[in-house]
Amino acid sequence: MEDDKPTLTTLNLDFPVWEQIFTVHPLVIVGTTDENDEPNLAPKHMAFPLGWKNYFGFVCTPRHATYQNIKKTGVFTVTYPKPDQVVITSLTATPRCDDGTKPDLEAVKTFPASEIKGHFVEDGYLFLECKLVKFVDGFGDNSLILAEIIAARAWNDVIKNPSHSDNELIYNHPQLVYVAPGRYAIVSETQSFPFPDDFKK
């Protein structure tokens, strides 16, 4: 029926666009070290490569310990969790107690970074060690944290390899993604993107 045809609708910018539609994002766990040298872990979905070189950025707010810890130490870690780590990733988002601790994080197993003071969540698939380049404040209550990747590790079975097709690699090692707002998905089937023949980065 003609009435079932969707119409292009203007969104009300009195509310964030990102709360009115679903969009797909990576899901990572950013690790920092607090003033007592204890690991602080927090999930982030507004996280992304900065260009084609080894730079990484994510959105945070100065109200969070993650921002303040990076301001003090100048470094942070990034763990890309696997699909079976959804609950663990969720635990890193639990509110802090009055004393500033997150007791639920005691159940999260970690291991130390190699080049900086920091920790990763065990059993993720990609691990980045990042050095702060700068903060860019002023996105409402939020800021963009820009960093250089100074060390990176990944399990050998998830690294791209000519002996396996890209589709096979992702099928055997599915990707966890955040579908904002408030949902997640597991990606196991992919297709090659149809780039034009003369496409260049």
CATH number at residue 118: 2.30.110.10
Is residue 119 within 8 A of residue 34, CB to CB? The reply is: no
Residue type for position 21: I
What was the pLDDT predicted at 106? 76
For residue 81, being part of any structural domain is answered with yes
For residue 5, being part of any structural domain is answered with no
For residue 198, being part of any structural domain is answered with no
Place of tokens 């589709």: 167
For residue 3, being part of any structural domain is answered with no
Q: Give the CA distances from residue 195 to residues 52, 191, 198, in Å, rounded to whole numbers and listed in that order.
A: 17, 12, 8
When divided into structural domains, the chain yields a total of: 1
For residue 131, being part of any structural domain is answered with yes
For residue 201, being part of any structural domain is answered with no
What was the pLDDT predicted at 4? 84
Answer yes or no: is pLDDT of 95 > 80.
no
Over residues 129-147, the mean pLDDT reads 97
Over residues 147-171, the mean pLDDT reads 94
Residue 45 belongs to domain spanning: 16-187
For residue 136, being part of any structural domain is answered with yes
For residue 99, being part of any structural domain is answered with yes
